[in-house]
Amino acid sequence: MRARLSSLSLAAIAAVSCFQVEPLPDCGQNAGEGGLYTPHYVCMPRAGAPLEISIAPRRLLRGDFDDEGVDNDFAVLLDLGRIQIHTTRDQKTELSAKLEAEGRVEAIAAARFFGEGHGDDLLGVTAGDKASGTAGKVFGFHNGGDMFASTAPEQFEAATLVPWGNCPAPNSIETLDVVEVENAKGLAIGCDSGPPTAEKPEEEALDGIVVEADEGVPFALQRRVGLKIPELTGIHAVNVAQLDGLGFEDIVAAHRPMDSEHESLAIYLVSKDAFTTDAEQAERLDIPLTHFEIRRVLLDDLDGDGDVDLVAVHPSDRGITVVRQRRSEPLLFEAPQFFDVGREIRDAELGDFTGDGEVDIAVAHDVEGTGLNAVSVLIRTHDLSPGQIDYALAPAGEVSGEIVDLEPLDYDGDGRIDIGAVVKVGSEGRVLFWLNRSPAGE
Amino acid sequence: MLSRGRTRRNGRIPALARSCRLGAAIGLSLALGLGGPASARQAEPAAGADEAEAQRLFEEGSKAYNLGKFDVAIEHFEAAYELSHADALLYNLGQAYSKRYEVEAEPAHLRRARVLFLNFAKIREAAGSDASDARERIAAIDAQLAELGKGEAAAQPEGPAPAPESPAKQPYRPRAAGIAGYALIGAGLVLGTGLGALGLVSAGRIDEQRRDEWQYVPLSGAREQQYEDSYQSARALAFAGIGVGGALLVTGVVLVAVDAARGGKSAPRRAQLRPGGLAVAF
């Protein structure tokens, strides 16, 4: 007896194959060595070899320093007050300028502040002496179109006349922008005021400074207003965004109320009047949180309802707090939602890293039991009603060394948000970038 | 039994002698039918040496008959008949075959005995003599054959008939039902194992793919439903294939068993069945 398979079996195979479910797209090469990869969601290969730096880095800042119109350049804040400016064209990066500020640089910001027709200028704050109450300084390097050829910065003391006070410990700086206006309209500076000093017990330090940019006025004479709130010990982790829809960007900062062990988010709604000497204290909204230590405040429309939502990063609490804004007047916010990462956080950034049109949260954190750091992505989950948010934590990749800072930028100029990171390796460091090739966005 | 001292006259056996011989033969046979050891009939004396030889053969046959050696008795009676042509020997032979059947239970002996009794009866009846005894013997044999379920005695034509051949055993050859049964068995195995395996493997792959996508981020409701629908469809196909295949298999086995029980006698032939493309050749 002999038998043979025939069209019956082939038809069966074809019929059964109809039950296949088309798999979600994926980058089959697993993003290559050192890339960030989560099956079907994140695919971010490394953009070439990392940039080696001989001094330990502290901060990575994106900008458009070469006036290309794309934020694919970056500044690296190093120890000892040094700042490197790197510009990128055609995915080739070169060191364009080396800057140096006096004192310990606590924070930097990039924006067109001094004049027009050139790339971003570089601004920052340096620490004063908290013990003596000596104010820190606010400095600004002119881009000038010649890539910071004039390397000496303009600067002024972090002190205000209205109200009278010093900011000995400036900790953060952001530029205030107005929609459709290229140049920044001001600066928001956070100050860690702390308790009054022993030498000047009657003087209370500033909690923050708001500077109004005036093109015709020297930098040192820019109009500025101090923020001094009795119940606060200072604000930090400043960030700015348009919250109330009225012209100027508003300021969101973290602070720890005196009567609470937990931190809160403070929202300052900035108007033109805030910059005049007759201005009353800016309207402030407080959002108490239930966790400690806020390292960063991030702002973006997470739930897709058109309002800017708030994100607080808690390194030691190993999680992220999200506060959604209700679309209503006056400004109202939902109850905070905490998303546990489970590991000590180094930094976090917002962006659409999966390419699905939703805002995700990239988190750099420790890997327990190893000397490695890793990047995970809080991916927005599906089937949520407008205004709702939920995240699923997905590991993406590991890095050798200590991730000091993450920065979202469009490194390759393709319109998709990439991720840059500065990694500290001993007393040296490296800068590396992951290019967004996530399959959902293709 | 042939008697001594009698001679042919003018080539004919005297009628008295014939009647006496026949009467003695009948009487003796009747006695034997009641349990008597001997079954020989008296035969007409043969002329001369043939007669003597026939007589001798008859006596030898009788001895063998008495000893239960019916095959030997048949040989001798047949040889005696060749020499004497005494029709009474036909009756003797019938008796011997009947007795032989009692020993060997071969229906052929019974049929042979019937033929011999029938021939004797016809000869006697043609001669105007009574053959009721022979007819009774024939009837008894018919009843025996009927019990054996052969029914060939009633269909046997009157007259000398050749001994029937015992049917030789033939190897089993499947007929149409058996061929169809094997085809169904094959189709059942293909459907059951093929579709069943493909369906279950597909369902497994679908589930594995779903778990892979759900590893970190929960699936959307629409996609979860898509997976569920495909998974259930694959399993349904698998179980349907197993069910239908099993039914075909069982049906095929039944058909083959029934065909084998009935005893397929068809000559071997080449089957080219193509149910769904399955080809089987014997």
Q: Do A3 and B199 touch (CB under 8 A)?
A: no
Contact between A287 and A296 (Cβ < 8 Å): no
| pLDDT for residue B137 is more than 50 | yes
| pLDDT for residue B3 is more than 50 | no
| pLDDT for residue B151 is more than 90 | no
Q: Do B209 and A21 touch (CB under 8 A)?
A: yes
* CB pairs < 8 Å spanning A and B: 90
What is the distance in angstroms between the Cα of A406 and the nearest Cα belonging to chain B?
22
Q: Note whether A217 contacts B: Cβ–Cβ < 8 A.
A: no
Overall pTM surpassing 0.80 (yes/no): no
Which tokens go with A53?
Answer: 């730096």
- Rounded distance between C-alpha atoms, residue A252 and residue A247, angstroms: 16
> Which of A191, A127, A126, A139 has its CA nearest to residue A165?
A191
The per-residue pLDDT for B198 is: 92
pLDDT tens sequence across B93-122: 999 999 999 999 899 999 999 999 999 999
Q: Do B218 and A7 touch (CB under 8 A)?
A: no
Which of A3, A6, A16 has its CB closest to that of B199?
A16
| pLDDT for residue B153 is more than 60 | no
Q: Which long-range contacts (CB under 8 A, 24 or more apart) does B74-80 make?
A: B74/B100, B77/B40, B80/B43, B80/B53, B80/B54, B80/B55
Q: Give chain B positions within 8 Å (CB) of A23.
A: 209, 213
| pLDDT for residue B63 is more than 90 | yes
The per-residue pLDDT for A19 is: 72
Query: What does the pLDDT average to over A332-356?
Result: 94
Query: What does the pLDDT average to over A27-45?
Result: 86
Q: Give chain B positions within 8 Å (CB) of A383.
A: 220-222
A189-193, A267-271, A291-295, A307-311: least confidently modelled range: A267-271
The per-residue pLDDT for A13 is: 54
Query: What does the pLDDT average to over A257-282?
Result: 72
The per-residue pLDDT for B282 is: 39
| pLDDT for residue B2 is more than 50 | no
| pLDDT for residue A185 is more than 60 | yes
Which tokens go with B8?
Answer: 């042919």
pLDDT tens sequence across B9-19: 444 444 444 54
DSSP state of A215: T
Band the pLDDT of A348: cuts 50, 70, 90: very high
- Rounded distance between C-alpha atoms, residue A35 and residue A162, angstroms: 50
The per-residue pLDDT for B210 is: 93
Q: Do A21 and B279 touch (CB under 8 A)?
A: no
Q: Do A21 and B199 touch (CB under 8 A)?
A: no
Question: In B, residues 151-190, which contact A (CB 8 Å cutoff)?
Answer: 186-187, 190
What is the percent of chain B with per-residue pLDDT over 70, rounded to a whole number? 69
The per-residue pLDDT for A328 is: 67
A433: left (phi over 0), alpha (psi -120 to 50) or beta: beta
| pLDDT for residue B280 is more than 50 | no
Q: Give chain A positions within 8 Å (CB) of B223.
A: 382
| pLDDT for residue B264 is more than 60 | no
Query: What does the pLDDT average to over A37-52?
Result: 92
Q: Note whether A393 contacts B: Cβ–Cβ < 8 A.
A: yes
Which of A12, A20, A382 has its CB closest to that of B219?
A382
Q: Note whether A24 contacts B: Cβ–Cβ < 8 A.
A: yes
Beta bridge partners of A364: A347, A375
Give one DSSP letter per residue of A42-97, joined into a string. Answer: EEE-B-SSPEEESS-EEEEEEE-TT-SSSS-EEEEEEGGGEEEEEEEETTEEEEEE
Q: Do B217 and A23 touch (CB under 8 A)?
A: no
Band the pLDDT of A398: cuts 50, 70, 90: very high
The per-residue pLDDT for A329 is: 62
Band the pLDDT of B281: cuts 50, 70, 90: very low
What is the distance in angstroms between the Cα of B251 and the nearest Cα belonging to chain A?
19
Which of A1, A39, A393 has its CB closest to that of B212?
A39
| pLDDT for residue B165 is more than 70 | no
Which tokens go with B236?
Answer: 């349904």
What is the rounded average pLDDT for all residues in chain B? 79
What is the percent of chain A with per-residue pLDDT over 90, rounded to a whole number? 48
Which of A3, A12, A40 has its CB closest to that of B278?
A3
A215-229, B51-65, B143-157: least confidently modelled range: B143-157
Q: Note whether B49 contacts A: Cβ–Cβ < 8 A.
A: no
Q: Note whether B219 contacts A: Cβ–Cβ < 8 A.
A: yes
pLDDT tens sequence across A360-393: 999 999 998 888 999 999 998 886 777 788 999 9
| pLDDT for residue B5 is more than 60 | no
* Single-letter code of the amino acid located at B275: P
Query: What does the pLDDT average to over B206-218?
Result: 91
What is the rounded average pLDDT for all residues in chain A? 86
| pLDDT for residue A152 is more than 90 | no
Searching chain B, which residue's CA lies closest to the CA of residue A25?
B213
Query: What does the pLDDT average to over A257-270?
Result: 84
Q: Give chain A positions within 8 Å (CB) of B203.
A: 19
| pLDDT for residue A287 is more than 60 | yes
Band the pLDDT of A207: cuts 50, 70, 90: confident
Q: Report how far Cα B144 is from the mean position of its chain's Cα atoms.
A: 16
Q: Do A20 and B279 touch (CB under 8 A)?
A: no
| pLDDT for residue A345 is more than 50 | yes
The per-residue pLDDT for A162 is: 76
Q: Note whether A385 contacts B: Cβ–Cβ < 8 A.
A: no
